[in-house]
Copies of this chain bind each other. A is one copy, B any other.
């Protein structure tokens, strides 16, 4: 892609309405554009990052045997009355009347709807366990939307649901998701801490939130740094190993400010292991047993033929929120560097272009064509602008590698730079092999 063709409305001004750095960066680099309060369009750069995050989430869900489906955004109020949440949910639920006066709503979450799908589809224990998920837009009518995609009204979320015959089996499903979440955040190059959490309006008695570290996070985090020493590769994908994994994580001290007690922290965690930092919640998992299946009559025949309410959990990851959260974690000292797994492009070629000399641009085009042949996702900055402005712009766009075609390059060697590292002069072959790794 040539930068001059990319639909990327970059603005030089710091947008006044944006209070946090992810919101600022996303507006400045044309990743998003606000369409109304708390509602955004995702422009090509932002869209590409979000889709890559979505794909990693999807792959990790598939790997634990979860099946993808898709529930609609608009739901009938009927099922929410069955569960008893229609009146409880409060004003964040966007309630709508259709042209025939029927009460419908824009789903803020999908426990009721998935329970309705399940109760008409599965009747026998033989089909259990089941893990189903979808990735869909949801709506929360925030009274004061702010912080860009971090607290907006229309947001993109993966939510999964587990169905088991017994509480014991259900906890095995819970552990699989716990494992999948940690793997997902690893692939996004994030340091994620699972923390025992309150269940809020979803309900249930077992819940963890997954918090990633970011200096600018919304919650204060107090943890034992040993939590980062636990190696996921130690565990096998079987029930007892995954149970051990959850116990190992849960044993290490890690709490948000709500549960923090200073004496306890000092007693349980050695001074040199204490981490006090900030974090952002990017995932939340819940086990709530028959909280929905019971009132909604979602029954399964057990081995003896007796009907029993299916045992359920739900598991969310904020996909659009992650775009902002990753910026909060990775954008430091005015330089952004996207994790390679989700970078909008792998490498950008930045030629020094002047009115009377297009030689560097021609060289850059040749490199571009070479990299394209190797299926490397490359951006060519063919915009006629001085190098100092270009560098500032790419500090924000955050493509992890740069090839600079200017004074330091000759016919065969070019300046190659990994963001946040010093540059090297390398042959194109060396550059190619570095990028292929």
Q: A-side interface residues toward B, CB under 8 Å?
A: 4-7, 9, 30, 33, 35-36, 39-44, 47-48, 50, 65, 67-76, 78, 91-92, 94, 96, 98-100, 104, 106, 113, 116-117, 120-122, 126-127, 130, 132, 137, 139, 141, 143, 153-154
Contacts and interface: CB of A to CB of B under 8 A. Distances in A.
19 contacts: A5-B65, A6-B67, A7-B122, A9-B121, A33-B120, A41-B71, A42-B70, A43-B69, A43-B121, A47-B69, A47-B70, A50-B70, A73-B154, A74-B94, A74-B139, A74-B153, A94-B99, A96-B96, A137-B137
A106 to B, nearest CB: 7
A98 B94 contact: yes
Contacts of A117: 33, 35, 41, 43
Contacts of A41: 69-72, 113, 117
A55 to B, nearest CB: 12
A71 B33 CA distance: 9
Contacts of A74: 36, 39, 94, 106, 139, 153-154
A4 B130 CA distance: 11
Q: How many copies does the complex hold?
A: 2
Contacts of A91: 99
Nearest to A65: B5
Nearest to A36: B76
A35 B73 contact: no
Contacts of A5: 65
B72 A39 contact: yes
Given A7-B132, A98-B141, 19 more contacts: A4-B126, A7-B121, A33-B120, A33-B121, A35-B117, A36-B74, A36-B75, A36-B104, A40-B72, A41-B70, A41-B117, A42-B69, A43-B69, A43-B121, A44-B68, A47-B68, A74-B154, A96-B96, A99-B143
A141 B100 CA distance: 9
A306 B366 CA distance: 36
A76 B36 CA distance: 6
A173 to B, nearest CB: 14
